[in-house]
Amino acid sequence: MKGLKTIAVVLALAAVAGCAGTAERDPRDPLEPLNRAVYRFNEGLDEAVARPVATAYRDAVPEPLRTYARNFFGNIADVFIGVNNMLQGKPVDGLQDWARFVFNSFFGVFGINDVASDMGFEKHNEDFGQTLGRWGVGDGAYLVLPLLGPSTLRDGAGTAVDIYVDPLSDIISSVPLRNSAIALRMVGTRADLLDAGRLLEEAALDRYVFLRDAYLQRRRNLIYDGSPPREKREDEGEAPVNAPADQDVKGTDRK
């Protein structure tokens, strides 16, 4: 519930800050100053707590055990992924998610083995933000949420629903155990992103911008399940694939 409250406060702040915008700002990110502040806060916290803990987890826990943990939480998540696929009008995908859950829960020993994937029932990536997107809700302003990181107005609302219906809270009634499970899931998620974090550091000139653009591209791709409609961007011009002239690889076979 606390998470929800934080999100509500951020959204309210965001709405206020949105009134003051300058012309130079990226139209997708009218709240850039606020977002950058939250981003810096998140990075500081990540550097001080999340990354060291995740690194220790990765170093201390052998890969098979980490996979069991990842699969266990992934299996529980498949239930709501199926719900989202149903809500998006993809009953076949939804049924597959639920079949995965049933299969992995039984034959995968409470989901710690992803036997369904080995059988060709691939895992899907869905959440309520994607469902809203599928229903036609636009991104809205880009948002960096405290602790949770990159999001948008739409995805923030989606995340609030995701947290609200998180099955982990229903399954485990003991509060300390539930909190430990949620913590383990977070650490595991961060550990899986350690390499990506290093890549970001290496690739980006401005990490904030790089991460934002990657997030927006990624979400668009996810909403359309990997095949978004082609989008004419005004800044793309005519794709100058063959334009460069100072190297030996220029194309000469244009008809």
Q: What is the 3-state secondary structure (H, E, C) of the chain?
A: CHHHHHHHHHHHHHHHHCCCCCCCCCCCCCCHHHHHHHHHHHHHHHHHHHHHHHHHHHHHCCHHHHHHHHHHHHHHHHHHHHHHHHHCCCHHHHHHHHHHHHHHHHCCCCCCCCHHHHCCCCCCCCCHHHHHHHCCCCCCCEEEECCCEEEEHHHHHHHHHHHHCCHHHHHCCCHHHHHHHHHHHHHHHHHHCHHHHHHHHHHCCCHHHHHHHHHHHHHHHHHCCCCCCCCCCHHHCCCCCCCCCCCCCCCCCCC
Complex with other proteins: residue 10 or 80, whichever CB lies closer: 80
Minimum separation from the CB atom of position 236 to other proteins (A):
7
Minimum separation from the CB atom of position 6 to other proteins (A):
27
* Contact footprint for other proteins (CB under 8 A): 24, 26, 64, 67-68, 70-71, 74, 107, 109, 112-115, 117-120, 122-125, 192, 195, 198-199, 202-206, 209-210, 213-214, 217-218, 220-222, 226, 228, 235-237, 239-253
Complex with other proteins: residue 43 or 213, whichever CB lies closer: 213
Complex with other proteins: residue 176 or 251, whichever CB lies closer: 251
Minimum separation from the CB atom of position 213 to other proteins (A):
5
Minimum separation from the CB atom of position 188 to other proteins (A):
10
Minimum separation from the CB atom of position 51 to other proteins (A):
15
Minimum separation from the CB atom of position 98 to other proteins (A):
16
Taking alpha carbons only, the member of 157, 147, 142 closest to residue 14 is: 142
Complex with other proteins: residue 179 or 217, whichever CB lies closer: 217
Complex with other proteins: residue 125 or 180, whichever CB lies closer: 125
CA gap 100, 116 in Å, rounded: 5
Complex with other proteins: residue 10 or 90, whichever CB lies closer: 90
Give strand pairing partners of 145.
149
